[in-house]
Structure 1
Amino acid sequence: MKRSQSLMQLFGLLTALALVLAACGSPNPVVTEAPSEPSSATEAPTTDEGTEMDMCYGAQPGDEVTLLYQWSGAEEESFNAAIAPIVEACGLTIVPESSRDQALLETRIESGDAWDLVFWPTVGPIGSYGDKLIALDTLGADAANYAPAWMASGNGNWLGVAVKADPKSIVWYSPVNFDANGYSVPTTWADFVALADQMVADGNVPFAMGFESGDATGWTASDFIQDILLSTQGSAYVNGILDGSVAYNDAGVADAYGVYAGWATDPAYAVGGAEGSLSTSFSDAILQPFSDPPQAMMVKQSGFAGGAIAAQYPELEFGTDFSFFHFPGADGVQGGADWMMAFADTPAVRAIVAYLTSAEGGAHWAATGFGLSPNSGSAGNYADPINAALAEVLAGASAATPDIGDSIQPSFGSAEWRAIVDVVSGASSIDAALAGAADAQAADQGN
C-alpha cells in the first residue's frame, strides 16, 4: 500500500484523538509503548500490519526523536497537536527542547550532539551546517506539496522545508475607521502613498510604527522597508540582496529608506514621530489603530498581528471591525517561516518528516490552528477565519521572498536593523548607515 493511502486511512481517526490530547495533555508529549489491550478511551486506531509499518517506516513503539524548536506555551501545545497523529500511530517518544539560543544551536551541532530534527526560524543552519544535514527527500518528504519558495537547498540537496509560515506583506486596519473617513483600500504603491498623504491632510495619523524589540529592535522597520522594495523594485531585486548581487547600499535601497524614514520621523505620519517609533514596542504598535479613539489608521505587521488584536479586543469582529490588505503593489509576498531540518536518519525521523510534509499532515496542521502551513494540503482546512484569509494570501502570491533579516547571516541582519534605527534616531545619514550594512553584507558573502 502506498504511504499516502496509508496516511489517508489513519488521518481521520487520529485527528480527533490528537486534538483532545493537545487540549488536555502536557506541552511536552512523551508517548510510551501502547498497551497490548488498550481501553476504549485510549484505543489506538485499527490498522493492518502493512499500513502501520508503511506509515512508521519501521519505527518501533518507544523509539525516541529529539527535537529543538523555539515554541513554548500555547504554541508548543499546538505543535504537539500537529504531530500527535504520527506520534500516536507509531508510539514514538518525543524528547523536545525549547530554546531561542543561537549559541546553544551552534555548540550542539559542532560537538556532534545535534538534535534529530531542528525547527528554526531562519535557514541559517543550512548555510553553516549543510554538510551535517540529511536530504529531506531521502527521508520521505513530499516535495509535491510545496512551492519552491518554501524549500531550502544546500550542496545541491533539499535540506530544509518551511512547516509554518507567516505572511509579512500585510497592512492591518479598521474598516469602520476607513468607512467613516471615506478611505478605500489601496491596491498600488502610488495609491498607498496618496492615501497616507490624504490621511495627514485630514488630521489623521497614517502609521503605527513600533521598533522596540530588545536585541532585535529594528526588525519591524526592516520588514516594512522590504515590502517597499517589493513594491518599487520587485522580488528579483530583493532576492539579489539575499544572494549578494544587489548591494545593500544600492540606490533602490536608499530610496526605500528615504520614504520610510520620512514617515517614521514625522509625527504627522507616525505616532509620536521618531521618538514614538523608536520607543514603542512592536506589540503595542499593533493595537494603536484599534484603540478608542484610534491613534493611527494602519499598522504594517505580519499575519500574527490578527491574533493579538483579537485577544486584546475580543469584542471586535474580523472582517468588520479589523481586517488587513496585501501590501499595495508588492511583487509577491514577504514571509517568515519556521524551517524543519534533519540531522539524523532513523525510522522515527522518517515517519515524522514524511507525515508533516504529506497532504494529510498539512490538513491536520491547519485544523489544529497552529498558524499557517505552506503545505498545499492545508488549503480549506482552517477553522479560524483570520488564518483562512491569510492562507489565501500565501496561496495567491505570485512570488515569495523570505524575510531578509531571517534569511541572512546574523552579522548582516544586525547591521540591517541597526541601519534603520540609526537613520530614524538621527545618529547616521542614510548613506553612512547603508554603507555599514553593505560592508556586513559583503563580509557575510565572503567578499
Structure 2
Amino acid sequence: MRTLKRRGFAAVAAGASVALVLAGCSDSDGGGSDEATADVDCADYTQYTDEFGDLEGKTVSVYTSIVDPESQEQIDSYKPFTECTGVEIAYEGSREFEAQLPVRITAGNAPDIAYIPQPGFLKSLVADFPDAVVPAPQAVIDNAEEFYTDSWVDYGSVDGTLYATPLGANVKSFVWYSPQEFADSGYEVPTTLDELMALTQQIADEGKIPWCAGVESGDATGWPATDFLEDMVLRVAGPDVYDQWVTHEIPFDDPAIVESLGAVGDILKNPDYVNGGLGDVRSIAAAPWNEAGNGIPDGTCSLHRAANFYQANWDESLTVAEDGDVFAFYLPGETADDKPLLGGGEFVTAFADRPEVQAFHAYLSSPQWADAKAQVTGQGWLSANTGFDGSLLQSPIDQLSYDLLTDESYEFRFDGSDMMPGEVGTGAFWKQMVDWFVTDISDEQVLSNIDAAWPTS
C-alpha cells in the first residue's frame, strides 16, 4: 500500500430527521438491541483511553443520511464504545443531509463526524472546505492499512491524503432469481455473459418474458439504470476503461461505453426480454425499482438485476436463500475468470480533531465496530473490513456479498455515478437513462448528452 500522508492522528430510508444522544453506561437512548454489548469486555476498549486519554463525559456529534428505522441500529452499534469509554454520541439523521452539510460547514456549524455516501461528494467537500475536513488521525490510518484494501483506501483519499474510512458496504453485481423455478425448469446459473444471454433466450423461447426492471425512485429516478450500465462497462470494456470513464479521462460517449450501453440494451431494450409483468420497454422508466422484482415469485419474470440490499423489498413471507423462494447470483463477466464487482458504501469523515472524535473515528474503522453493527442488524448491511467476522451476518445474501467483497480474485469498483460530479452522476446520467427508455434516442446520443453535462473546470 502506498504511503499515506500522516497527521497527528443505500439507500436512505424514508422518515423525518432524528436527533438522539447515546450516553455511555446509560439506558436512556430509547431502547434497541443489547446484543452488541452482551459480551463486551471493556478491557478490549482500553486502547482508546490509552491512546486518547480520559474520554468520560465527552460528546461527539454525528450527522448522516441514515434515518429511521436504520438509525437505531447505528446507535445500538455504538454502545460498546460509549459504555467502555464514557463518550456520548449525539446522533442526527436527516433526509436533507447532502444539501445541508455544506450549509452547516459554511455557517461554522459542522458536525464532528459525518457519513459521506459518495467519494465524489467527499472530494468536493475537501476542495470547497479545505480547512474544515480533517485528515484521518494515525490510529485510523493504521486501521485502514490493516483492514481495508487499497481501492477502499483510495476512495476515502483525496490527493494521497486519507480523510475517510468505509462505514458500510454493498454489492451491486447481482441478478435475482427463483431457485425453485431454476430447479423445475433445468436452468443453470450462468458463469459468463454469453451464458447469461443464452439463458435469457432460453426463457424467452419457452414463452416467458425473462427480465423485469424498474428505475422509478422519486427524485432519484434513473439510478438503477446507471448501475446496470456501470456493471456492463466493467464487463465489456474492463476495469481500466471504467476508471478512465468515471474520471472523464475518456469522454462519456467513448466507443467502449457505447458498446457497453448496447450490451445493456440487448436486455433492457429488447421487447422479447422485458418487462415481465409490468408492460413494454417504456414501462421500465415508470416501474418503482423497489417493486420491479415482484414478478419473480409471482412467476411473471425470471431475472432482475439489483444489489444485495434489494432483499429488504421482498415480502416478509419469502425466504431469501440459495434454496429459498428468491436468491441472487453473481452477474458474470465475459469469461469465468473475469470477475469485476460493482458496489458502494458510506465513508466516515471528521470535521474536528479533538481526542474523543479521533477515538470514535478509530472505533468506526475497526473490526470491533463492524462486529457490533452486524450483531444488531438483521439484513442488508455488510462491511468491507477484512478483520470483520463475516459469520455474524444473518442473511445468506449478505454472507455471499461479503465473500465476494473480500475475495481477492474479484476486482472491486465503486459505483461510478457516485464518483462523478453531481451535475453528471446524479443529474444528467439519471435523466438521460430515463429518456433512453421512453424515447427513440440512440445509444450514442444519450451518452453524448451526458458528456455535455460534464463541468469544464
Q: TM-score, normalised by structure 2?
A: 0.83
Which residue of 1 is the match for residue 286 of structure 2? 279
Q: Do the aligned residues in 1 keep the contact of 2:22 with 2:75 (CA within 8 Å)?
A: no
Query: How many residue pairs were aligned?
Result: 410
Q: Do the aligned residues in 1 keep the contact of 2:19 with 2:91 (CA within 8 Å)?
A: no
Which residue of 1 is the match for residue 442 of structure 2? 429
Q: Do the aligned residues in 2 keep the contact of 1:162 with 1:339 (CA within 8 Å)?
A: yes
Determine the C-alpha separation between the residues in 2 that align with 1:49 and 1:257: 50
Determine the C-alpha separation between the residues in 1 that align with 2:173 and 2:213: 15
SS at match of 1:177: helix
Matched, 1:318 2:324: no
Which residue of 2 is the match for residue 308 of structure 1? 313
Greater helix proportion:
1
Give the CA deviation at 1:30: 2.6
Which residue of 1 is the match for residue 148 of structure 2? 146
Q: Which amino acid aligns with 1:158?
A: L
Q: Which amino acid aligns with 1:54?
A: T
Change (3 A) 1:303 1:89: same
Q: Do the aligned residues in 1 keep the contact of 2:169 with 2:346 (CA within 8 Å)?
A: yes
Q: Do the aligned residues in 2 keep the contact of 1:52 with 1:89 (CA within 8 Å)?
A: no
Q: Which amino acid aligns with 2:301?
A: A
Give the CA deviation at 1:328: 0.9
SS at match of 2:453: helix
Give the CA deviation at 1:368: 2.6
Determine the C-alpha separation between the residues in 1 that align with 2:137 and 2:240: 27
Determine the C-alpha separation between the residues in 2 that align with 1:181 and 1:49: 53
Structure 2 counterpart of 1:96, from 84, 91, 106 = 91
Give the CA deviation at 1:55: 5.7
SS at match of 1:274: coil
Q: Do the aligned residues in 1 keep the contact of 2:24 with 2:82 (CA within 8 Å)?
A: no
Give the CA deviation at 1:33: 7.2
Which residue of 1 is the match for residue 108 of structure 2? 112
Give the CA deviation at 1:160: 1.5
Determine the C-alpha separation between the residues in 2 that align with 1:383 and 1:43: 17
Structure 2 counterpart of 1:404, from 396, 403, 416 = 416
Change (3 A) 1:125 1:230: closer
Following superposition of structure 1 onto structure 2, how do residues 260-279 of structure 1 map, counting pairs within 5 Å? 260-271=264-275, 272-279=279-286
Structure 2 counterpart of 1:226, from 221, 225, 230 = 230
Which residue of 1 is the match for residue 3 of structure 2? none
Matched, 1:289 2:296: yes
Q: Do the aligned residues in 2 keep the contact of 1:123 with 1:160 (CA within 8 Å)?
A: no
SS at match of 1:253: helix
Structure 1 counterpart of 2:304, from 299, 307, 312 = 299
Larger displacement relative to structure 2 (55-64 or 212-221)? 55-64
Q: Deviations over 1:165-202 (max 9, x none)?
A: 11001111111111222211111111111211221111
Determine the C-alpha separation between the residues in 2 that align with 1:50 and 1:233: 46
SS at match of 1:345: coil
Structure 2 counterpart of 1:374, from 376, 384, 387 = 384
Q: Which amino acid aligns with 2:434?
A: V
Following superposition of structure 1 onto structure 2, how do residues 210-225 of structure 1 map, counting pairs within 5 Å? 210-225=214-229
Q: Deviations over 1:121-155 (max 9, x none)?
A: 11233212222322224354411100122222113
Q: Which amino acid aligns with 1:193?
A: M
The Cα RMSD (Å) is 2.6
Give the CA deviation at 1:28: 2.8
Q: Deviations over 1:237-296 (max 9, x none)?
A: 1111122112110112112222323432333211222232111100111322122xx121
Percent of aligned pairs with the same residue?
26
Determine the C-alpha separation between the residues in 2 that align with 1:32 and 1:258: 55
Give ranges in structure 2 of 5+ residues lacking alignment. Answer: 1-17, 28-33
Change (3 A) 1:171 1:49: closer
Which residue of 1 is the match for residue 251 of structure 2? 247
Which residue of 2 is the match for residue 135 of structure 1? 135
Give the CA deviation at 1:380: 3.0
Matched, 1:70 2:65: yes
Which residue of 1 is the match for residue 172 of structure 2? 168
Structure 2 counterpart of 1:124, from 97, 105, 120 = 120
Larger displacement relative to structure 2 (423-432 or 199-208)? 423-432
Q: Deviations over 1:15-39 (max 9, x none)?
A: xxxxxxxxxxx9834316779xxxx
Q: Do the aligned residues in 2 keep the contact of 1:189 with 1:232 (CA within 8 Å)?
A: no
SS at match of 1:247: coil
SS at match of 1:273: coil
Which residue of 1 is the match for residue 406 of structure 2? 395
Which residue of 1 is the match for residue 55 of structure 2? 60
Determine the C-alpha separation between the residues in 1 that align with 2:77 and 2:109: 26
Which residue of 1 is the match for residue 8 of structure 2? none
